[in-house]
């Protein structure tokens, strides 16, 4: 049985990175580790590590990305929570037996070799959930 190990990150969609950083970094005082362009996601991402997890602020850099469409439709706000799992294939197979609606039926491979998959908010209480195996 696959095991959820920890919360890896919480992702927030923003429409104004500097304004968001003035809250998360400057007002709350969470250290900004890196502000990085992620061309594959057509977005700029701010990584703010916090006690083994991370807050990620995501701003689209093009109008035609999934994240840009999300921002246009729903506005800025919570985008997804990511949970680390020890065996993503086993967990996805298990979730299918529980009739959980998956966005990715099979894990996708990130550029850094990590496997990930998204679970549909319909099955989670309204929150997009990302599973991720290092
Ligand atoms: Co994520």
Query: How much distance in Å is there from the Cα of 8 to the middle of ligand 1?
Result: 8
Give buried/exposed letters for 68-95 (b at 16+ CB in 10 A, else e).
bebbeeeebeebbbbbbbeebeebbeeb
Please give the Cα distance from 77 to 86 (Å, whole number).
Answer: 28
pLDDT at 107: 96
Query: How much distance in Å is there from the Cα of 82 to the middle of ligand 1?
Result: 6
Q: In terms of Cα–Cα distance, which of 75, 74, 82 is closest to 56? A: 82
**Residue stretches of the chain with pLDDT short of 70:** none
pLDDT at 122: 97
pLDDT at 78: 95
May I ask the CATH class of domain 4-133? alpha beta
pTM: 0.91
């Amino acid at each position: 049985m696959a095991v959820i190990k920890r919360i890896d990150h919480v992702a927030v969609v923003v429409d104004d990175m500097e304004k968001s950083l003035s809250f998360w970094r400057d007002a709350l005082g969470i250290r900004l580790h890196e502000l990085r362009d992620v061309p594959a996601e057509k977005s700029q991402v701010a990584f703010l590590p916090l006690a083994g997890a991370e807050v990620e602020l995501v701003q689209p850099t093009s109008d035609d990305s999934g994240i840009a469409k999300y921002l246009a439709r729903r506005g800025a706000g919570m985008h997804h929570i990511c949970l680390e799992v020890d065996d993503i294939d086993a967990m996805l197979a298990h979730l299918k037996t529980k009739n959980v609606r998956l966005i990715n039926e099979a894990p996708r491979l990130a550029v850094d070799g990590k496997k990930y998959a998204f679970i549909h908010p319909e099955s989670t209480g309204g929150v997009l959930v990302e599973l991720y195996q290092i």
